[in-house]
Amino acid sequence: MNHSIPHLSAHPLAPSALAAAEILYTDLDGTLLGLGGSLLVDADTQPSLTTAAAIVDVNRAGLTVVVCSGRNRIQIAEIARLCGWRGFIAELGCVVVPDRGDDPIFRTGVWGADALRAGETPFQAIERAGALDALRQAFPGKIENHAPYHLNREATHVLRGSLDVVAGQAVLDELDLAICLVDNGIIHPLSTTLTDVSEVHAYHLMPAGVSKAGALAEDLARRGLARANVLSIGDSASDVKMAEETALCVVVGQATEDARVCEAAAAYDNVAATTGRRGDGWAEFAAAWIAARQG
Q: Tell me: the pLDDT tens digits for 156-176?
A: 999 999 999 999 999 999 999
pLDDT reported for residue 2: 44
Q: If you average pLDDT over residues 28-57, what whole number do you get?
A: 96
8 A C-beta contact, residue 43 and residue 279? yes
8 A C-beta contact, residue 240 and residue 264? yes
Cis before 148 (ω within 30): yes
Task: Tell me how far apart the alpha carbons of residues 166 and 231 are, in angstroms, rounded to a whole number.
Answer: 30
The DSSP code for 243 is G
Q: Which helix (H) or strand (E) holds 249?
A: strand 248-251
Q: How many CA atoms lie within 13 A of 94 on its CB side?
A: 27
pLDDT reported for residue 188: 86
Residue 228 pLDDT greater than 90, yes or no? yes
Residue 15 pLDDT greater than 60, yes or no? yes
* pLDDT confidence tier of residue 1, bands split at 50, 70 and 90: very low
Sign of the CA dihedral with 184 first, then 189, 194, and 197 last: positive
pLDDT reported for residue 151: 94
Task: Tell me how far apart the alpha carbons of residues 60 and 48 are, in angstroms, rounded to a whole number.
Answer: 20
Q: If you average pLDDT over residues 165-193, what whole number do you get?
A: 93
Query: What SS3 state is found at 196?
Result: coil
Residue 61 pLDDT greater than 70, yes or no? yes
* pLDDT confidence tier of residue 184, bands split at 50, 70 and 90: confident
* pLDDT confidence tier of residue 224, bands split at 50, 70 and 90: very high
Residue 93 pLDDT greater than 80, yes or no? yes
* pLDDT confidence tier of residue 53, bands split at 50, 70 and 90: very high
* pLDDT confidence tier of residue 274, bands split at 50, 70 and 90: very high
Helices (H), the chain: 14-20, 50-60, 73-83, 122-128, 131-138, 165-172, 212-223, 237-240, 259-265, 278-293
Residue 185 pLDDT greater than 80, yes or no? no
Cα 211–Cα 249–Cα 246 angle in degrees, nearest 5: 65
8 A C-beta contact, residue 71 and residue 153? no
Q: Is 205 exposed, middle or buried (0-12, 13-18, 19+ CB in 10 A)?
A: buried
Q: If you average pLDDT over residues 254-275, what whole number do you get?
A: 95
* pLDDT confidence tier of residue 295, bands split at 50, 70 and 90: confident
Q: What integer best gives the mean pLDDT of the chain?
A: 95
Residue 128 pLDDT greater than 80, yes or no? yes
Q: If you average pLDDT over residues 41-68, what whole number do you get?
A: 97
Dmax (CA) for the chain in angstroms is: 57
The DSSP code for 104 is P
Q: If you average pLDDT over residues 280-291, what whole number do you get?
A: 98
pLDDT reported for residue 187: 84
Task: Tell me how far apart the alpha carbons of residues 21 and 250 are, in angstroms, rounded to a whole number.
Answer: 13
Ordered DSSP codes for 131-150: HHHHHHHHSTTSEEE-TTTT
